Structure 1
Amino acid sequence: MHPLLKYSLGTAAGAVAAGAACVTYAAAYEAHAFRLRRFDVPVLAPGSRPLRILHLSDLHLMPDQQDKVEWVRGLAALEPDLVVNTGDNISDPESIPVALHAYERLLELPGVFVFGSNDYYAPSPVNPFRYLRRRERSRPIVAPKLPIEGLRKGFTEAGWLDLNNAKGELKADGRRWAFAGVDDPHIRVDRYDEVAGPADESAELTIGVTHAPYRRVLDAMTADGYRLLLAGHTHGGQLCVPLYGALVTNCDLDSKRAKGLSRWGPSWLHVSAGLGTSPYARIRFACYPEASLLTLRPAR
């Protein structure tokens, strides 16, 4: 065999082996290595005592994911003042009782929620390279519908506030919080015009909630005076480049904001990288599945 051909074949074999090792790591380890990230957010009025929000998103639960269920159940030990759920809880018609079991202890705490597309529709296989192209128009949804009303009923009967194209308020830690939320902008069921208007400045804090962090929604909430914006959807990029980060967000948010805390004009934006994956691509790479604990502190 010619030395150059032998070298080329060896290089190709090495690349295939390295790729297989990365996929095995991403599927067998990282997709199950759930983590809690902590952030301090200087958003409260001077002199206020701190408040803690547990932000959960994108579990994409399947009935066989008991490790994820038990990890989420354990988060109740954090005893947050408020739970915010930004959607995509399920991926299968049989997942609703599984999800309600996962959230059971958290449902005893004050909470709010919005839904994502995969609460309404089951995921379907897609070409992963499609996410590397910017899409100007939404694709028609042809996936089977999920029995979403069972999930909504479980949340609302426990006292969680439904913010799908709705405003509301609740008390947590003895203080009043004001909210505005929209249904999922990714499938264009957001109706911000139904909740538009100045935020209630007499509340301890004003919070805007959405599943997908599209700029049109974030800009509208900020303009109305919501000073903390919470979203999910991006999976943090899901398959990231080490030392670089996310390549895509699957919306019009820039990739540098695919997860974590950043400023959005005068407001703070937190995007959760979420805890799940599509059932057709159960891998994460350089992007651990996560929940977030936000400690709200007085602004300086």
Structure 2
Amino acid sequence: MASPSSARAALTVLGTVGAVGVGAAVWGVGIERHLYTVRRHELRLLPHGARALRVLHLSDAHMAPWQHRKQRWIASLAALEPDVIVNTGDNIGHAEGLDGVRTAFAPFRGIPGVFVHGSNDLVAPAPRNPLKYFLGPSEHVPHATNLDPEALDSFLRDDLGWSDLNNAAATLTVGGTRIDAFGVSDAHRDWDRLDDLPDAIAGLGSGADLSWGVTHAPYRRVLDRFTDLGADVLFGGHTHGGQVRVPFSSKALVANCDIPLDQARGLSRWTHGGRTVPLNVSAGIGHSIYAPVRFGCRPEASLITLLPR
């Protein structure tokens, strides 16, 4: 039989653990998921003498109509005066989320940009068991609610003026720098058609100062092929940076794809076929409405300043 002192000690430990757990839940659900931040990087990739370019990388807004705080924060990023925007998908987080996306992105109208789809640009999110993410990339939910990607694309392409890179390529001229960009639709759903890209890129002609590879889900097969196709920098999203991380750890617990866990957030280097290029994976701005938590992984946008070599 345990002594009174040992019983009190055990109760104290249990109480402490419980308090820590409750505190972590309150922080992750009620506070950190609203602590939006801008992650800043510099890359020397431009030709000698070129003007510096500010690239705003947005990803995984997962917008729901009631998320007005998120909408205001995204809109406020226009004050950073980006020269070009890269949107790596999963803009929609609710069947009625497009109006919130319009409100959030309206200040970027007229700023050149590119975009690709995540799965939640085409189908609405559904409840999932979060523990299954530790078993590997998630499987799609059958009979999910279809969204209206045509309306989203019309807004991004026709209203904002961004180029659609879903299994396609496009040329942008920004600040006197020619950028050839190519991308794929969501590789997590096997919507990527990598074999379409060589012809799409060839159709742009020669003379680019810089080449970008853009994907929602940064699967290895996609990053490898982008590197082989001559991309000078790679952009991805999808991972949410793990969404729940051990504080101060350099690795995510999960990535929901096969990217190395220490590259599931932020700027790193990707090497394949004798080439090494920068890779920026955004931890994203939002989360599924069925998993409203961020812990050790603040919601973010990336501002990448490109400088002359």
- What's the TM-score bracket when you normalise by the shorter of the two chains? over 0.9
Name the SS of the counterpart of 1:169 in structure 2. Answer: strand
Distance in 1 (CA, whole Å) between partners of 2:260 and 2:142 is 25
1:60 aligned residue = 62
Distance in 1 (CA, whole Å) between partners of 2:266 and 2:238 is 13
Distance in 2 (CA, whole Å) between partners of 1:2 and 1:118 is 55
Q: What are the equivalent positions in structure 2 for 1:70-81 lying under 5 Å apart?
A: 70-81=72-83
Q: Which one is further off, 107-116 or 126-135?
A: 126-135
Q: What TM-score, normalized by structure 1, do the two folds share?
A: 0.95
Equivalent of residue 23 in structure 2, options 3, 21, 24: 21
Matched, 1:264 2:264: no
Q: Which one is further off, 202-211 or 45-54?
A: 45-54
Matched, 1:94 2:135: no
Q: What are the equivalent positions in structure 2 for 1:1-300 lying under 5 Å apart?
A: 2-135=4-137, 138-139=139-140, 141-158=142-159, 159-196=161-198, 202-245=207-250, 246-265=252-271, 266-299=276-309
Distance in 2 (CA, whole Å) between partners of 1:139 and 1:61 is 19
Name the SS of the counterpart of 1:196 in structure 2. Answer: helix
Instruction: Give per-residue Cα distances to partners, 1:225-271, cap 9 Å, x unaligned.
Output: 01111010111111000121411111000111111111112211100
Name the SS of the counterpart of 1:64 in structure 2. Answer: coil
Name the SS of the counterpart of 1:105 in structure 2. Answer: helix
Letter matched to residue 117 of structure 2: F
Q: Which one is further off, 73-82 or 182-191?
A: 73-82
Letter matched to residue 217 of structure 2: A
Shift of 1:63: 0.7
Distance in 1 (CA, whole Å) between partners of 2:76 and 2:291 is 26
**1:132–1:201 Cα change, 3 Å:** farther
Name the SS of the counterpart of 1:55 in structure 2. Answer: strand
Distance in 1 (CA, whole Å) between partners of 2:73 and 2:136 is 35
Instruction: Give per-residue Cα distances to partners, 1:199-233, cap 9 Å, x unaligned.
Output: 76521210010000001000001001011110101
Distance in 1 (CA, whole Å) between partners of 2:46 and 2:241 is 26
Name the SS of the counterpart of 1:284 in structure 2. Answer: coil
- Contact 2:50/2:176 (CA < 8 Å) preserved in 1? no
Letter matched to residue 298 of structure 2: Y
Distance in 2 (CA, whole Å) between partners of 1:131 and 1:113 is 26
Distance in 1 (CA, whole Å) between partners of 2:179 and 2:220 is 24
Shift of 1:4: 2.5
Q: Which one is further off, 196-205 or 18-27?
A: 196-205
Query: What is the root-mean-square deviation in Å for CA atoms of aligned residues?
Result: 1.6
What percent identity do the matched residue pairs reach? 45
Name the SS of the counterpart of 1:48 in structure 2. Answer: coil
What is the total number of aligned residue pairs between the two structures?
298
Shift of 1:47: 3.1
Name the SS of the counterpart of 1:195 in structure 2. Answer: helix
Letter matched to residue 127 of structure 1: N
Distance in 1 (CA, whole Å) between partners of 2:52 and 2:248 is 33
Q: Which one is further off, 225-234 or 37-46?
A: 37-46
Distance in 1 (CA, whole Å) between partners of 2:37 and 2:69 is 13
Letter matched to residue 26 of structure 1: G
- Contact 2:51/2:175 (CA < 8 Å) preserved in 1? no
